Amino acid sequence: MVSIDDAVVAKLKIGANVFEILVDCEKALELRKGKDIDLDDILATNDIFKDLKKGEHASDLLKFFKTENKREIARKIIMEGEVQLTSEYKNKLRDEKRKQIINNIHRNAVDPNTGFPHPPRRIESALEEAKINIDEFKPVEEQLKSILPKLRVLLPLKYEIREIAVKIPSAYAGKCYTILKQYGNLLKDEWQNDGSLVAVVEIPAGLQEEFFDKLNGLSHGEVESKILNVR
């Protein structure tokens, strides 16, 4: 069982009735995501409350849950109800969202003056300098709409998609084909009579250097490439 001092409230509302239990925040949320976790590692107590602050226990469990098995009821409350988030967990979510935002900018945008992506650390510093608040719950794409105008005051940024043609010798075509599909949208692939591969792929501009590094590493620098279009 979890320490009561470290537990948070999970609650489920059925009609006008509220059912509350004490749980470990992170483990309860992991269970909701499908992870196999023993309830003993989640619950602080087996009791089901109607008002935890007043210490009032719930009654008529059979009526509302079709069972009096408190562990089954606790699982239902966790899976279908609301789990209170600790400040530590919110900070963790916010840090993860910040990393996702930085990664999105690094992968998809370039410095228009150089054609290369900004290093993640530089993007992170600009976020801090611009005093941008990250919302741990909003999707990355939605937040970027307000973040990018503020960042562009400090960092030249341009989102680009590049259409790149490559020709890969037969000795490396099989291995490199996986890279083509992994890094972008494969628009065209034609296997030549000599076993070589000619392909056209669309990739985010920020991934171009990494993309070429991967291909050249596998082919010992024997891949031919040409940028066909930038948009």
pLDDT in tens, 110-156: 999 999 999 999 999 999 999 999 999 999 999 999 999 999 999 99
pTM of structure: 0.81
CA torsion 192-194-200-205 (nearest 10°) is: 180
Strands (E), 24-108: 49-51, 56-57, 82-83
Report the C-alpha gap between 204 and 110 in whole angstroms: 9
Report the C-alpha gap between 140 and 98 in whole angstroms: 9
pLDDT of residue 96: 97
pLDDT of residue 109: 95
Q: Which fold has domain 161-230?
A: Alpha-Beta Plaits (3.30.70)
Contacts of 218 (CB under 8 A, 6+ apart): 172, 175, 176, 179
pLDDT of residue 184: 87
Of 128, 133, 229, 140, the C-alpha closest to 187 is 229
3-class DSSP state for residue 119?
A: coil
pLDDT of residue 155: 96
> pLDDT tens, 170-181?
999 999 999 999
Q: How far apart are the first and last CA of the chain?
A: 56
pLDDT of residue 27: 97
Of 166, 163, 161, the C-alpha closest to 215 is 166
CATH code 3.40.50.1970 for 87-158: no
Q: What DSSP state is assigned to residue 117?
A: P
Q: Name residues of the chain where pLDDT drops below 70.
A: none
Q: Span 4-83: which CATH code?
A: 3.30.1250.10
* Helix locations, 152-226, DSSP H: 170-183, 208-219
Question: 194 φ, ψ to 5°?
Answer: -85, 5
**Domain ranges within the chain, ordered by starting residue:** 4-83, 87-158, 161-230
Report the C-alpha gap between 66 and 85 in whole angstroms: 28
Burial of 76 (0-12, 13-18, 19+ CB in 10 A): middle
| HSE-CB for 200 with a 13 A CA cutoff | 8
- Residues 223, 176: contact at Cβ < 8 Å? yes
CA-based max dimension of the chain: 79
